[in-house]
Structure formats: structure tokens, C-alpha cells
Structure 1
Amino acid sequence: KIKRMKNLPMAALDSETVTVVKRKVKTKKKKVKTERKKRKSKENTSLKGKSEPKDKKIQVLQKNENNSENVESMKIGNGHDIEEKVNEGKRSKEFESGHDFEVELPNKKQKSSFRKGNDVEKSGEVSTGTVLKKKKKKKNKNAEQNSELENIAQKKIVGIKDKMNAKIIQATLNTKYKEEKLKTALKKSWSSNGYPLKIDTCDEDSGIKLMKRLPPLYYAPIFFNFYNLIDSPSKRISMFYFIYLFQFKQTTDLKNASTPSLSALRNFLYGPFRKYLMNITGIELDNTVDMGSSLYEQTDVLLCHDDELEGRRIAYILYLVPPWDEKDGGTLDVFHTDKNGQPADIAKSFFPVWNSFAFFEVSPVSFHQVSEVLAKKKRLSINGWYHGSPVNRPPKFVELPRPVKSPCHIEQEDLYSWINHVYLDPWTQKEIKTKFQKDSQIELEQFLAEDKYEALLEAIKLKDLKWHYEGPANKRHYEVTKANKAGELVRECLKFLRSEAVFLIFSQLTGLRLHKLAPPDSEDEEEKSSEKEPSPCVSQEIRRVSHGSYTLVHDDDPVGSQYALDAMLFLGVSEKWTQALGGFTSYIARDEDEELLTVLPRSNSLSMVYRDKETLKFTKHVNTSVKDLLEEEQQFYEVNCTYYE
């Protein structure tokens, strides 16, 4: 009663569907009756109604008449089994293939369509799972048995796929990298003592670039032989919308990935290639291997870092990119280091190429970054780390904090000439203080007098004002100018913000003890104030923020080691400057990525934020979208002050 089906040759594994075309076989009633009589006449047969036509690869098995149920099993084309259980017109099926085909039930005109993968369509409805559970009109007495059959079918499906993939999906090392001559050269170039940075060399035979640095970095093109690799790991990506170090899409750990190509690549990286690396580098690696995938699109970036984490010994990157050019960005940049072991200038940049592979030892000086992707392209890579026994690391370099200065004196008329008189009004100060003590932050718009603001902006924009980049790159990257080289008006502004009068005003606006005349907020504070006199101070810096500017969070930041009041005065910010361009200041809790506060730059606006030791801040990387603005709008200025009680 089941219409016969014939399998077509199976297509490549990465095709969307494999279709099986059913053929309708018309039989006459007389022929059917004749066949039934012949089957009944057979002796010692445990199965009735068995038919094995030689020209068709379909077998139908039926149970004994004594059984209350009939079980029919079909073998279709490529040998995949389909077992069909019939009970009072109800059928449950086991499918051992994800291929598309249709089955027409004899007593019902409804057609069921089974699709490759987990999506199943039935009569316009969509259900998930590899086994489609039909909607029953009557109560199913064998629901538990059917469920067991479905579970068995699931396991068999996976088993068949694994066997098929093991034969077809492969990842192997390019044979030229197996040559003993090249392996010996690679091994010799990798020194435990390290090499000073020299001009990188290129082996003409292999095309591999050996970068002799501490540690050495290898960049090798056409590294693997792929067959039916790679199916898209980007289907598993998740977006990190807000991270201080990077912004791109990445997968979860792929160690449990079940897709055929990723499984083949993972098995190769975890097994034969791990031994290959140990032979070249001499580094003993254990069985722990991290494997993930990263997808960078336009404006995405991974800023300078060293990859150090307990147990990481070798980092690797496999590039799976479309045709790429240096102007597209997204290069792997490696850094020189200075006498303190901190990143200095960029030593070498490698732009990604399909099937190229880079690996290097993770060390205190393995500073690198992925530069911003400038083109509307997708930079896909598979990357991770090989692990081994932890090694001793030298103490981390701790930089000195920015110099601080005590309050200075200015004349009353000078104070009145700089500050907007609104903020001198006692009632306004009281309202601001109430809000600040509730939120620990406030934005004071039009903080400077209008004429002083315009004059200061013109002075800070002067072309003869010298700017230089402040580093190191693993902590910050923006332009600064020295106060003693700035114009007179700029120096007057810094003096105004450092004056005793401003310290007192800020005390009245915030409730902090930034001046000895500041009244305490409570009796407890009054008792403490009698024991210790405040010694307020401030650090100041003039910044220019433009494309590529950023600051990073780091644990040993001396600025964040104590309670402080951040005051950021912004100048020359375009009205078209949005949060999407970057350049805003973000506050997060230590050891967490959740954002507590975002401070957007606005012209002539003073943003004040009071933070504790567990609150960190950073400035978001200014991306290439800023170049869509007019040239004079592509940067802004900030007078950055940090006040301490």
C-alpha cells in the first residue's frame, strides 16, 4: 500500500537539500490478488506479504498476523532505513536521513514533507525536530513506544552523518609545510632566548614569513588543504555590542561544534597539528585547545593586548576572508616594545588572506591588535589558543600616576569672567547638589561664559599648537598638548579650573570636601573633618579626540585606585557627532562588562562623575564613520580634570 520511492544520487554535503523523487507504481487488482495467493502458500515464513523485487531497492516487512501491529520497513536508494509503525491507521516514522522526500499515506490524502535539518513543514505548519510528530485525531495508545522509536532514529541519523562526513570532509596540512627542510628552518628560527626584531624574511619556496621578534611570529599562506570546508561558523555568532577592548561578532567555544567541516578542522587542530607545533616550537602543550570564530565588519576593531591568561602558550589565527587589500583595514598588527616591556610603535602589519595561518607564543610582550575594518567586507577567522603548563612571568610594569597640583589663587573678576553666572546662584547650586548626591553624576550645560568659550576654542584650534600621541597602545591612544606650550588663554583656563574658587564651587555642587571651607553633610563627617583637614588636588590634561582615539581599562591604572571626581569639559563637538562614532566615556563596574553610565561629549558642557575604587572608565574607540563628517568636524577637544579630596 505504500507507494514506492527511488533515491536520486546524493548531492554535495553543503547543498541545501537532497531530493528523493517518488514514483507511482500502478498495479492491477488481479496481479495483487495473485501475489497475495503466492505469499500465503509459502511455508515456514514468519513474515507475511514479503516482496523482494530485484529491480527495486525497496523491502517491505510485515509482522505476524498474531501481532496487533504491523511494522513496515523500507530501504531507499542509498541504503538508509525508514521504519514505519502502523497502528489503527496511525503511523510513526523513523528517518535515518536528513534528505527531502514525500510520503503519501494510503488511507489519508494528506502529504507530509520532511526537510533536511531540524525544520519540518507540514500542511502549512512549522515544527522543529528531525522527527515530525503528526497531529492525532484519536488517542494514541502507543505514544511512549513511538517516542522511543523517535529517539533511536535521532541517534541513527547522527551516526550516519558522522560516517559519511568522516569520508568526505577533510582538513590536512599543506604538504610543503611538512617538508623536513622547512620544518628544520622553522624550528631553528624559534628560539627560547628570543631574537631582536629584524627585517622579516620570506622563504621563496614556501612563501612563509618568519618574523624574528620576541617571541617569533609565523605567517603562512595556503596553509591547509580543504575539501568541503568551511561551512559557515558565522551562523553561531553573537554580537558583543559593548566591550571596552573590542567590538565584533564571535561564536561561543566551538569545541562541541557538530557541523561536519568544523568537526574535521577541530579534530585536526586538536590532534596532528598540535604535535606539529610542539615539534617546531619545543613548547609542551596539553590537550586543552580553545577554538572560536570571529567576524569583523566595517568599524569593528580589536585593540592592543597581549593575550596573556593562565595556561595560554600559543595563539593561532586561520583567515577565511574574501579577496582583501591593505586599504580595507583589518590587519594583524604586532608591536615593538620599549624598555619597560610596553608596546611602542607598530613593527609589522599582516593583511588577511584566505587560508593563511598565523601563530605566535603568548608572552608578556606579545602585543598585537586587529586594526579597524575600513571596507564594507566581512573578515572571518577561526582563532584560539593552545594551552600548556604556566610559565613564570616578570612583574607587570606599573606606570606612575599623572602629576597632581594643589589649588591656586585667582582674582574674583577672573572667576566671574570664566564661569556662567547661573552656577553661582545658591538655589541652582542646591538643586544640582541634590541631583548629584542621588546619581553621583551631572552634566552642566553652557558651563563657560559664551565669549570665553569661543575664544578658548579658537586658541585650542591654532595650527601652530603642537600635539603628540599619548600611549602606550594597550592603555590609551589620543593626542595631547603640553600646558607650557599652549597659548596664554589655554593656560588661563587650566588655572581657572585649578583655582580655590572652583574647588569651593564644586564642593557646593557635589557635597564633596574639595575645600576646607566646604560645610560637612552630616555630624559624622563633621567629626571626621575635625580629625583630618582635606588636602584637595587635581590632575589636568588637554586632549584632542579624533579617528582612532581611545582609552582602555586596566587593573593597574593608578587613576582608578582611589575615589575621585572626574570633570570633563568638551570643546568644539559637532552637532552631528553621535554615539555610533565613538569618543564617548563609559563607566563600568570592575570585573563586569555591564555599563553603568555613558558620558556623551557636548560643546561647552562640563560632565562631573564621582567614582569609587570599583568603578572603571574608558573612552570608546572613534571609528572610521567619523570621516563622513566635514573635515573640521572630525575631532573635538577635552579639558580632562580629576579632582581628589
Structure 2
Amino acid sequence: MAPSTANIRAPPTKEDRTDVKRMKKASSEVSDFIKSKFYPGLFDQENRDSIRKYVASSKPYPHCKIDKLVNDDLLRRVQKEIFTHLNFTTKETDIYKVNQTGDLANMDGLGEEERQKLASLFELRNAIYSKEFREFVSEVTGCGPLSPSKMDMSVNTYTAGCHLLNHDDVIGTRRVSFILYMPGDPDEHWDPAFGGALELYPTIEPDTPAPEPSVSVPPQWNSFAMFTVLPGYSFHSVEEVVVENKPRLSIQGWFHFPQEGEFGYKKDAEKIKGYSTQKQVEEPKDDGKDFVNYTNELDDTALLGLSEEDLKELATWINPVYLNAKYMKQITDKFVDDSAVQMKEFLKEELYAKIKAATYNADKKDNFLKPEMPPHGSGVRGDWYVQGPPVYQRFLTLTEDVKSDEETSVLFKDLRDKFQSESFRRWLAVLSQLSPRGYRGDARRFRPGHDYTLAKINLRGQPILDVTLSMATTPDVDAAEKWESCEYGGYECYMAAPEGGEDPATYRQTADEDAALLTLGAGANELSIVMKDEGVLRFVKYVSARAPGSRWDVAYEYDLPNDKEESA
């Protein structure tokens, strides 16, 4: 187990000690003008010492929450200006959904009339980036000097369904991340059941966060959370907001390392050991599973049709219509033309009825049928366990050796075995006119309010055949319509890889119509077959806590011969 990042700092240098003395001296020199922008007593040395001691011992990495930061009258005026004069743009990718303004650093370029409309916001922005407050942040976090010129902040509002998944905030010269909260009505307490908490994750080892957070910081009016940005350690997320008509408003931003020519500048100081979570997703790790090779190769005759033995075995679980040679030919033609095909009512009716009842009952026991944020750890039953790390993915999957008699474990273990069988391999070969030579995959459960996969790129240098049987909990027509709308997550998205040179913070803009190649809503008893070309990204969107239940599926990738092997 990696140590807390509160204990991994290098010993302070002589220069660092000089910086701390200078900042402590500055604490007694805060002007009345700056003090008036903040909550009374914030800059008192006793308060500074208290916060600094908390940060130094905090886990899983250096952080703190200040209950009252800003002059309350100023903050109320800021909130009113934001809702009256600012426009929000909804942004959604694999990692987040949020309503956001532009960078507040650009306020300097506004005309006088616009500046007057946002006078209080401009006042607050300047106070947060003032010399006095920067030195306050430097002192209590122990992070060292901060840039006086580089600003990076925006106004965010999380409405129902908005969320931000696990990441470490490491981009460029970011040094301290902060959030100033203005949720709901200033005179009302924000119930933690509304969602929207900042969640901090411990690390199993550097660059690998634990599956679940160890600290949760609910938003409250005028509270201020901040933490040191540490590559490979400062993993965090923002819990989904589940309450309707109560926006979680905040100002979020970063303090940066000093830039060249500024006090405290050190060349490449931001290049701490480790690397950005964004970089990890650009160059994604595999899920740890190699392809399992079949023991024999398929010859050309395997593409022509199924044997009686194969048909007999497949008929025990597949809808007979998908074993009909004439109908299979029609599906093949569509797949050859589109490189993708979906098949509804794929499992035999009696088998699907068992699975539908079992998954519904499991979701009911785990309280996943209500639009509420479930606690972490929910749904871990039988042989299901949490698959991570959450910087790439989080969902439940089955152990290799299923031993329990828990119903969903048994049923999905059986489906997993069927997807690995030779008869199913030959069925895929006939349908796709391709020759699978290996497989990898598993049964999965994506729990509402918890689970997802982030965009992962095919880097094998050749296409992969994706085959997924989706069995989202769908007790009625309303639930089916919710899954189909994709507004509640759980959908699969295939998208074109980003062009080189894009900012890693923005490369996942899946809202770009040219980037999204295919979107498949979470279905009930639907099989999809997709040819995933080299360089194509794929992810399962975070399942909202407001979804009708879990997205259950069996998802496999099948390795294919490359062009040279096929022509040899």
C-alpha cells in the first residue's frame, strides 16, 4: 500500500524555508481592503496554523475544506450576477457532464458595460488571485510559491445528472486545485443525499487509485475545498447530482507553478514523478487480460455454414431465428455493409425470462431502482467484485472461478462460458465472414451512480470484433425508453481517435458529430456486433443514479487474423 501523499514530500530546501518565512511575515500585512473580501478571521495566524496542521496530516493526500471563505454579502451578489448575466454551455464526454462558462481569466477583455454587469464576480476573481490570498494558500498547503499571472477558473453548475469521474487534475503547470461552493439557496442546507460531493481516492500504488473514495466533501454554501495537485496521487471525482431543480453552483479553478521570470520559478518544477491522468487515457493501459487463443484454426469451410452439432448446441440458448440460414445471410449482408449490426431478442425467451427476473431482484435488493445516490460498495454479492482502476473503468465483474449459488453469478457465468465456446465462435464466423482466433472479455454489471468505462483506443494494428449482449434492467416500457434516450447513461459509444496535437484536457469532446461513429443505447436482450478498426475509441457512459437499474452485459472482444495472415 502506498503511503499517504502527506508523507511523500521531499525535505524542505533552504529556499523553501525562506519562502515559508516570507509568507508567514506577509500574513500580518494583509490589507483591510483584501480582508473585507473574505470571511472575518480567515487570515488570522491562529486560523492559518490550524488549516496548515490539518493539511499536513490529511489523507489520502494533502487537502482541506474551509467552512466559510468569502464575505457573504459579496458571494450572494456573485451568485445573483451569475444566474442573471452568464450563459452556461452543457459539455458531455466519457468522463464528465457539466454546465460551464468560459475561462474567467478572459474577463479582462470584456467591455465596460459587460464588466459592470459582472462587477461582483470580477471583484471575487481578483480577490482569489490576489497576492495576499495566493500567499495564504501557499502557506497553509506548504506547496510553495504560486504564479501571480496565470489564472485558470470557471463557473460550473451541476444540475441533475451532471458528474465528473475519476482523474488527477494534472495538466500543464497546475499546482493547487480549488472549488468555491454556491449550491442552491444560500439560506438552506445542502443535503448530502442531493449528491455533488467531492470524492478523494487513496492509491493502491502510484498512478492506481483504489476502486472507491475514502473522503467525501459535500458542497455547502461559501465553503472552499482545495488540494495539492500530485501526478499519480491526487485522484478525485465529483459525485453525480441527483436532486431536481437545485443546481450545485461553484467556481472551480487552479493555482499554478510560477512561470518563467516570476518569483519562485524553477525550470520543469511541475514535472514531478508521475504523469497526467489525461495522458493515461490518451495512451490507455489494457485491462490486464490477454487474448485466449482457440486451440485450432478455422478453415474456409467454417464460413459457409454451421454443422448439425453446432446448431443443436446453439439452439439451447439462442433465439432460433438467429440460427436460420436465410436470416443469417441478411444479417451478414448488413454487417458487411455497415461493420455493425444489432439483434433484438437474442436469447431464447425462457432463458432471458430467468435472467430478467434475477437481475431485477438483485437491483431491487441493492436499492438501484430508485433515483438516489447509492453508497459505495453496493451490489457486491455472490462472485461479483469491483473491477478498476477507476481512472480507466469501474464496474462489477465475475471471479474466474464462480463458486457461489447466487443466481446472477450462476446465470452470467453460464453466459460467459457460451461466449467462449467453439460453437459460438463458428456462429460468429458464419455471420461476420471473419475467423476469430482468440477472445477476451467477461460478464459485467454497471451499477447506477457508480460505474463506467472511459474511452480506450484499439492499438493492436488491426481490427477487433466486439460482441456485446446487453441486458439492462427494464421492468417496463418507461424504463426501456429511458435507456434508449441515452440521457441516463449506460450507452456504448464508438468514436474516431483525436487528431495529434490536441489539448489532452479537451480531446474527448464526443459531442463533436464527426467524432462519434456509433452510439448504442443500453438494450434488454440485445446483441451487438461491431468491427472496431485500429485507432477507434470505445467507452460505456457512466450510468446515472437516476437510471432504471443496472446495465448488465456480457462483453467480449475477438482477435482476428491480420491482412497478411489472411492472404498468406
State the shift of 1:248 in Å: 1.8
- Residue from 442, 460, 468 that aligns with 1:568: 468
The SS at the match of 1:604 is: strand
* 1:569 positional shift: 0.7
Q: Distance in 1 between matches of 2:35 and 2:143?
A: 27
Secondary structure in 1 matching 2:41: helix
**Contact 2:472–2:522 (Cα < 8 Å) also in 1:** no
1:467 paired residue among 384, 390, 410:
384
Task: Tell me, in whole angstroms, the C-alpha distance in 2 between the residues paired with 1:561 and 1:301.
Answer: 34
The alignment's TM-score, normalised by the length of structure 2, stands at 0.69
Q: Compute the displacement of 1:214 (Å).
A: 5.1
With over 3 angstroms needed to count, the CA separation of the structure-2 counterparts of 1:339 and 1:262, relative to structure 1, is same
SS across alignment from 2:522: coil
Q: Secondary structure at the match of 1:418?
A: coil
RMSD over aligned CA atoms reads 3.1
Give the letter aligned to residue 545 of structure 2: T
C-alpha separation between the residues in 1 aligned to 2:494 and 2:355?
28
Q: 1:606, CA displacement in angstroms?
A: 0.5
What is aligned with 1:359?
Answer: 226
Candidates 227, 233, 239, aligned match of 1:371 = 239
Give, as a single letter, the amino acid of the residue that structure 1 aligns with 2:42: Y
**Which residue identity lines up with residue 248 of structure 2 in the other structure?**
R
Does the CA-based 8 Å contact 1:335-1:368 persist in structure 2?
yes
Cα deviation, residue 611, structure 1: 1.3
Distance in structure 2 (CA, Å) of the matches to 1:340 and 1:422: 51
Offset, 1:329 = 1.4
Partner of 2:197: 331
Identity of aligned residues (%): 26
CA contact (8 A) 2:471 2:525 kept: yes
- Residue 178 of structure 1 aligns with which residue? 43
CA distance in 2, matches of 1:611, 1:563: 5
Letter in 1 for 2:63: L
For 2:410 and 2:59, how far apart are their aligned partners in 1?
A: 46
Determine if the alignment matches structure 1 residue 392 to structure 2 residue 272.
yes
- 1:224 is aligned to 70
Does the aligned pair in 1 maintain the 2:195–2:243 contact within 8 Å? yes
- 1:402 corresponding residue in structure 2: 289
Query: In structure 1, how many angstroms separate the alpha carbons of the residues matched to 2:536 and 2:397?
Result: 25
Further displaced range: 349-358 or 564-573? 564-573
Structure with greater strand share of residues: 1
1:207-356 mapped onto 2 (5 Å cutoff): 212-213=58-59, 215-228=61-74, 229-230=77-78, 231-234=80-83, 235-240=85-90, 242-257=92-107, 258=115, 259-272=118-131, 273-280=133-140, 281-286=142-147, 287-321=149-183, 322=185, 323=188, 324-344=190-210, 345-356=212-223
Question: Against the structure 1 CA distance between its residues 282 and 330, is the aligned structure 2 distance closer, same or farther, given a 3 Å change threshold?
Answer: closer
> 1:588·1:596 contact (CA, 8 Å) conserved in 2?
yes
- Deviation track 1:392-428 (CA, whole Å, cap 9, x = no partner) reads 2226884652243334799532123233333334443
Shift of 1:558: 8.0
Report the CA distance between 1:506 and its aligned residue.
Answer: 1.6
Secondary structure at the counterpart of residue 490 of structure 2: coil
- CA 1:485–1:422 in structure 2 vs 1: closer, same or farther (change >3 Å)? same
Task: State how far apart, in whole Å, the 2-side matches of 1:562 and 1:508 are.
Answer: 20
Summarize the Cα distance change of 1:549–1:537 in structure 2 as closer, same or farther, 3 Å threshold.
Answer: farther
Contact 1:399 1:558 in 2 (8 A): no
- Matching residue within 441, 447, 456 for 1:540: 441
User: Match of 1:434, SS?
Assistant: helix
1:477–1:550 contact (8 Å) kept in structure 2: yes
State the 1:613 CA deviation.
3.3
SS at match of 2:165: strand
Report the CA distance shift for 1:567/1:342 in structure 2 as closer, same or farther (over 3 A). Answer: same
Over 3 Å counting, the alpha-carbon distance change for 1:313 and 1:260 in structure 2 is same
Change (3 A) 1:559 1:457: farther
Task: Give the direction of change, closer, same or farther, for the CA distance of 1:562–1:268 in structure 2 (3 Å limit).
Answer: farther
Deviations 1:426-462 (A, max 9, x none): 4433332332233221101222333343355567778
Match for residue 504 of structure 1?
426
Alignment of 1:58-73 (within 5 A): none
CA distance in 2, matches of 1:217, 1:563: 44
Distance (whole Å) between structure 2 residues aligned to residue 616 and residue 283 of structure 1: 39
Q: Contact 1:584/1:619 (CA < 8 Å) preserved in 2? A: yes
Give distance in 1, aligned partners of 2:53 and 2:445.
46
Which residue identity does 1:471 align to in structure 2? G
Distance in 2 (alpha carbons) for counterparts of 1:559 and 1:256: 39
Greater shift, 558-567 or 413-422, is seen at 558-567
Give the superposition deviation at 1:221: 1.4
1:597 paired residue number: 518
CA shift, 1:304, in A, is 1.6
> Residues 485 and 175 of structure 1: is their aligned pair in 2 closer, same or farther, counting only changes over 3 Å?
same
Q: Assess, with a 3 A threshold, how the Cα gap between structure 1 residues 559 and 462 changes in structure 2: closer, same or farther.
A: farther
CA shift for structure 1 position 243: 1.6
Structure-2 change in CA distance of 1:602 and 1:552 (3 Å):
closer
Q: 2:291·2:559 contact (CA, 8 Å) conserved in 1?
A: no
SS in 2 for 1:359: strand
Conservation of the 8 A alpha-carbon contact between 2:492 and 2:520: yes
Q: How many residues in Structure 1 have an aligned counterpart in Structure 2? A: 432
Q: Given the alignment, which residue of 422, 439, 449 partners 2:348?
A: 449
Q: TM-score, normalised by structure 1?
A: 0.61
2:527 match: 606
Residues 1:641 and 2:556 are matched in the alignment: yes
- Identify the range of structure 1 (172-181 vs 288-297) with the bigger mean alpha-carbon deviation: 172-181
- Map 1:155-166 → 2, pairs under 5 A: none
CA distance in 2, matches of 1:254, 1:172: 18
- Distance apart, 1:277 and its partner CA: 2.0
Letter in 1 for 2:315: Y
Q: Distance in 2 between matches of 1:282 and 1:367?
A: 17
| Displacement after TM superposition at 1:333 (Å) | 1.3
Q: Quick one: distance in 2 between partners of 1:237 and 1:437?
A: 45
Distance of 1:265 and 1:644 partners within structure 2: 56
CA distance in 2, matches of 1:408, 1:498: 12
CA positional deviation for 1:625: 2.3
> How far 1:361 moved relative to its partner?
0.8
1:189–1:582: structure 2 CA closer, same or farther, 3 Å change rule? closer
Cα distance in 2 for residues equivalent to 1:340 and 1:617: 25
In 2, Cα distance between equivalents of 1:392 and 1:547: 36
Alignment deviations for residues 96-134 of structure 1 (CA, whole Å, 9 cap, x no partner) = xxxxxxxxxxxxxxxxxxxxxxxxxxxxxxxxxxxxxxx
> Which has more helix, going by share of residues?
2
Pair 1:588-2:495 in alignment: yes
Cα distance change, pair 479–400 in 1 and its aligned pair in 2 (3 A): closer
Please state whether the residue corresponding to 1:580 is helix, strand or coil: coil
Q: Distance in 2 between matches of 1:437 and 1:218?
A: 56
Q: Which amino acid aligns with 1:179?
A: D
Alpha-carbon distance between aligned partners in 2 of 1:386 and 1:428, rounded to the nearest angstrom: 61
The equivalent of 2:27 in structure 1 is none
State how far apart, in whole Å, the 1-side matches of 2:218 and 2:38 are.
21
Whole-Å Cα distance in 2 between the matches of residues 306 and 609 of structure 1?
A: 32
Q: Which has the higher contact order (CA 8 A, sep 6+)?
A: 2
Whether the 8 Å contact between 1:217 and 1:358 is mirrored in structure 2 is yes
> How far apart are residue 391 of structure 1 and its match?
2.5
Deviation at 1:314, TM superposition (A): 0.7
Query: How far does residue 296 in structure 1 lie from its aligned partner after superposition?
Result: 0.9
1:623 correspondence with 2:544:
yes
Q: Which moved more, 1:459-468 or 1:242-251?
A: 459-468
For residues 152-201 of structure 1, give each alpha carbon's deviation from its aligned partner in whole angstroms, at most 9, with x where no partner exists: xxxxxxxxxxxxxxxx999623341211233244445555xxx5xxxxxx
Q: Do 2:89 and 2:100's aligned partners in 1 also have CA atoms closer than 8 Å?
A: yes
The answer for the alignment partner of 1:57 in structure 2 is: none
Unaligned regions of 5+ residues in structure 2, if any? Answer: 1-32, 108-114, 258-268, 297-306, 363-380, 404-408, 499-507, 561-568
